[in-house]
Amino acid sequence: MRRMFLTLSSLLMLVAMLATPASATPGDTFPKIIKLPNGWQPEGIASGRGTSFYAGSLADGRIYAGDFRTGEGSILVPGKAGLLAVGMYVDQRTNYLFVAGGSGGQGRVYDASTGAELASYQFQTANTFINDVIVTREAAYFTDSFQAFLYKVPLGAGGKLTSKPWAAIALTGDFQLVAGFNANGIEATSNGKWLVIVQSATGKLFRVDPQTGVTKLIYLGGATLPNGDGLRFVGSRLYVVQNFLNQIAVVNLNNDLTSGAIERTITDPAFRVPTTIASFGDSLYAVNARFDTPPGPSVDYDVVKVPRN
């Protein structure tokens, strides 16, 4: 009788599995809207280990640690007057959280598990806005929206921090400073050979040699990406957040990153001036900065999940 019961149970389980739609995945049950604390003033978001994510605050540099699966979270790094947390990136090798410091001119590194500050780098002291950061196997690279430089923080074996000094890499070639915000979002190819930056004021994309700083315009058939902000690579697709346009452009680039085409745009009624995105599973998570709304302690902020494809 016990053998018959196990066989019947197995059959019932098989029937249930066959009846489940093939498209159903654990991600389908993840919340579409993840609330951040009121008054948060977010700008950057980064995926961490597992289902974790991090969102920074422009108000005082606080960092919120949340969970894509549950939508719950708490403050990982407390705020401090005068600090900003703008773009951010988690290096999965070390669980270091790299944070761009905005008008403070710094880049900071935290332990993503404990929130302990591990390092701080003072890149500039005036006329600066350290906007975003990407990490390769060898270094972390920060953009400056007011100056034609990238700032490189060398990393050791396995992504460990070292005592090697950071370096300012002048951006030369096709990239030219203009009025307004310049270099904003930054990404890197998987092998670290090339970086890609977007110039918010012109909507242009540039390929950057991380060794020399030489830039080359990525030709998009005459199209531009106005209000370009956060970038994220998934395969050959580059996802470009266009903040005040409330959309994410999907750009298909050629192998050497000299040209590409805007395939489509992703929109959602829940977008409220998204600035940066994180990728998890088959979804993108956009953080709403709400730059069109005066900040205040009661203003609500959130993260929006949208399909990537």
In a domain, 22, yes or no: no
State residue 7 phi and psi, 5-degree precision: -65, -45
Q: For residue 8, tell me if it sits in a domain.
A: no
Q: Parallel, antiparallel, or unpaired for β 260-266 and 274-280?
A: unpaired
What per-residue confidence (pLDDT) applies to 41? 98
Which domain, by its residues, includes 287? 30-307
User: What confidence score (pLDDT) does residue 34 get?
Assistant: 98
Q: Is 241 domain-assigned? A: yes
Which pLDDT score, from 0 to 100, does residue 1 have? 36
Tens-place pLDDT, residues 93-137: 999 999 999 999 999 999 999 999 999 999 999 999 999 999 999
Q: Is the separation of the CB atoms in 97 and 88 below 8 Å? A: yes
pLDDT tens-digit readout, 170-185: 999 999 999 999 999 9
Q: What's the total number of domains in the chain? A: 1
CATH number for 255: 2.130.10.10
Residue 113 counted as domain residue: yes
Residue 9 is assigned to a structural domain of this protein? no
pLDDT value of position 27:
52
Is residue 15 situated within a structural domain? Answer: no
Domain assignment of residue 6, yes or no: no
Task: Report the percent of the chain where pLDDT is more than 90.
Answer: 90
Q: In this predicted structure, what is the pLDDT of residue 235?
A: 85
pLDDT under 50: residue ranges of the chain: 1-26
279 and 33 Cβ atoms separated by less than 8 Å: no
Does residue 21 sit within a domain? no
Report the half-sphere exposure of 89 (CA within 13 A, side-chain side): 24
